[in-house]
Structure 1
Amino acid sequence: MHKGSCLCGKVAFTIDGDLAAPNACHCGQCRRQSGHLWASCETHQDNLTFTSSETLNWYRASDIARRGFCSACGSFLFWQHNDEDTIAVSAGSLDEPTGLRLAQHIFVADKGDYYDISDDLPQRAH
């Protein structure tokens, strides 16, 4: 079981089930919303239970997915594809220790020009 929350705690949740190793997303939307790359872990949406969600809001940044965030503190917490039953959860929102390790970099074709990827993890263009 994993627990997590936004910065102010008004959105809090538990994940009871499998949580995939995190990906670091370098796409332009994640960089703009998070301020840099965004690390997230996927789980089945049924594994996610909210203990508090009074300020949880969803933003449609594209036709294919929505992004969940806290309207009080601005924390970017979730990404969910319209046609999938999984949800990506911000790795930084999880209480430690997580026991997780970064698995790969995704959307590296869109990464910012102000940094390099210097680890040996797999890199996917998209």
Structure 2
Amino acid sequence: MLKGSCLCGDVTFTVTGTPHDPAACHCSQCRKMSGHIWAAAIVAEDEIEIAGPVRWYHASEKARRGFCPRCGSSLFWQGIGSGNMDFALGAVDGPTGMHLARHIFVESKGDYYDIPASEPQQEEE
């Protein structure tokens, strides 16, 4: 079980299921939302308990992003109708026990950093 929270602690979450596919997303939306890259893992929607005043932003017709309205921490990404929820690995309290499995949307990455060639990369998801 993983527990996490936003910076101010108003929003908390508990992952009760087994997360999978930890990935770093380099798309322009994730870079703008996070200020760099978005690192997250996926869990079934019914295997994460969220408490607190999450504000949802519909970033596109395909997805919404959840954040804390008080401190602005970016915490969740959800494909509409997917049945899954991505949660921010950086918001987990303590060790995650995971390692990034891949980098996605690498064609959109910023020019100010490099991704090691040894790490799995995909142009799109």
TM-score bracket, shorter-length normalisation: over 0.9
CA shift at 1:3, angstroms? 0.3
Separation in 2, partners of 1:123, 1:67: 23
Separation in 1, partners of 2:25, 2:68: 20
Find the partner of 1:116 among 98, 114, 117: 114
Are 1:90 and 2:85 an aligned pair? no
The residue that corresponds to 1:39 in the other structure is 39
Task: State the one-letter code of the partner of 1:57.
Answer: R
Q: String of CA shifts for 1:68-96, please: whole Å, max 9, x gaps.
A: 00010000000000120001000001111
TM-score for both structures, normalised by structure 2: 0.95
Separation in 2, partners of 1:100, 1:9: 23
Summarize the alignment of residues 1-126 of structure 1 with structure 2, pairs less than 5 Å apart.
1-50=1-50, 52-53=51-52, 55-118=53-116, 120-126=118-124
CA shift at 1:57, angstroms? 0.3
CA shift at 1:115, angstroms? 1.1
Q: Which runs of 5+ in 1 are unaligned?
A: none
Amino-acid identity (%): 51
Q: Provide runs of 4+ in structure 1 moved above 3 Å.
A: none
Secondary structure (helix, strand or coil) at the match of 1:46 reads: helix
The total of aligned residue pairs comes to 124
Separation in 2, partners of 1:117, 1:100: 18
CA shift at 1:21, angstroms? 3.9
Q: String of CA shifts for 1:10-50, please: whole Å, max 9, x gaps.
A: 00010111111410000000000100011000000101112
TM-score for both structures, normalised by structure 1: 0.95
Separation in 2, partners of 1:89, 1:38: 10
CA shift at 1:65, angstroms? 0.4
Residues 21, 100 of structure 1: 8 Å contact kept:
no
